[in-house]
């Protein structure tokens, strides 16, 4: 693999410069340490959005007080549903293909971004959820939990939990697209499954941070039992997200 090293820096520049998503394109990603990956992640706008949502939700929840076992039950329920949510979003939204409906092409920003992500899985700027989509999702999350849960306190517990899972998702997904080498078995397994999804067959290994739904829905096979897909890098033959011609 051909790599390009960054220009030589002075000792001061080396100490004070902070990696960004754009800068890492000029650096051999084989050399990215966990600390460098964390700095790139922490500097991304998505982390700022989710971090602000999480902090606001925690402050609001503490303001209303009255923490109880119901909060713990709610947190557990949201976490338990997360694997299925990842699976459904991946299948129904991220892998959505443009469709003609009454002469209009129906497509989504996040679906187009995900198709670009599959085209070049190592291109770090395409790893994160599009910021506009994340903003819209954050607003919908606040509205949905406020409508679905009674009172003023419990919705903020749910919002804080959702924001935390969002940060966790973005971190693990980002990290799996660097060549940082994990040491723990669970993290190695997550990396392997996600890379199989990108380079072996896009119809399997659909979880990102959790794979219980893959086990339940039989999309977690042994790699040797699955044929290599011709469209893993070009989802459904729609690499650019252009509308179908027929």
d(CA 135, CA 49): 7
pLDDT of residue 11: 38
Name, of 17-21, 30-34, 104-108, the range with top average pLDDT. 104-108
* pLDDT per residue as tens digits for the range 63-83: 999 999 999 999 999 999 999
- Could you write out the DSSP letters of every residue in 32-84? --HHHHHHHHHTSHHHHHHHHHHHHHHHHHHHH----HHHHHHHHHHHHHHHH
pLDDT of residue 238: 61
Neighbour count for residue 150 (Cβ, 10 Å): 7
* pLDDT per residue as tens digits for the range 206-246: 999 999 999 999 999 999 999 999 999 998 666 544 443 33
For the chain, the domains span 11-237
pLDDT of residue 223: 95
The strand pairing partners of 104, in sequence order, are 101
pLDDT of residue 103: 84
Q: What's the angle, vertex CA 116, arms to CA 144 and CA 133, rounded to 5? A: 20
Please check the confidence at residue 124 and state whether its pLDDT lies above 80: yes
Mean pLDDT of the chain: 86
Neighbour count for residue 67 (Cβ, 10 Å): 12
d(CA 128, CA 45): 10
* Of 78 and 26, more confident: 78
* pLDDT per residue as tens digits for the range 102-114: 888 889 999 999 9
92-101: long-range contacts at Cβ-Cβ below 8 A with a sequence spacing of 24 or more? 95/202, 95/235, 95/236, 97/235, 97/236, 97/238, 97/244, 98/238, 98/241, 98/242, 98/243, 98/244, 99/244, 100/243, 100/244
pLDDT of residue 31: 66
Residue that has been written with the tokens 């119901």 in this structure? 70
Q: What is the mean pLDDT of residues 175-185?
A: 92
Q: By C-alpha distance, which of 98, 108, 85, 131 is closest to 235?
A: 98
pLDDT of residue 240: 47
């Amino acid at each position: 693999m051909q790599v390009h090293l960054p220009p030589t820096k002075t000792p001061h520049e080396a100490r004070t410069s902070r990696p960004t998503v754009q800068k890492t394109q000029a650096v051999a990603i084989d050399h990215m340490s966990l600390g460098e990956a964390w700095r790139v992640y922490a500097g991304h706008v998505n982390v700022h959005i989710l971090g602000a949502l999480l902090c606001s939700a925690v402050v609001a929840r503490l303001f209303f007080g009255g923490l109880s076992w119901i909060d713990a039950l709610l947190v557990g329920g949201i976490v338990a549903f997360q694997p299925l949510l990842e699976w459904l979003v991946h299948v129904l939204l991220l892998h959505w293909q443009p469709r003609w409906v009454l002469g209009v092409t129906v497509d989504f920003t996040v679906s187009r971004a995900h198709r670009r992500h599959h085209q070049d899985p190592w291109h770090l700027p395409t790893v994160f959820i599009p910021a506009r989509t994340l903003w819209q999702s954050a607003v919908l999350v606040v509205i949905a939990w406020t409508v679905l849960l009674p009172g003023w306190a419990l919705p903020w517990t749910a919002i804080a939990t959702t924001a935390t899972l969002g940060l966790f998702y973005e971190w693990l997904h980002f990290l799996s697209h660097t060549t940082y080498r994990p040491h723990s078995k669970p993290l190695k397994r997550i990396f392997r499954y996600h890379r199989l999804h990108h380079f072996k067959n896009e119809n399997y290994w659909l979880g990102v941070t959790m794979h219980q739904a893959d086990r339940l829905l039989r999309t977690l096979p042994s790699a040797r039992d699955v044929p290599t897909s011709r469209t893993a890098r070009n989802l459904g033959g729609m690499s650019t997200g252009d509308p179908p011609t027929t």
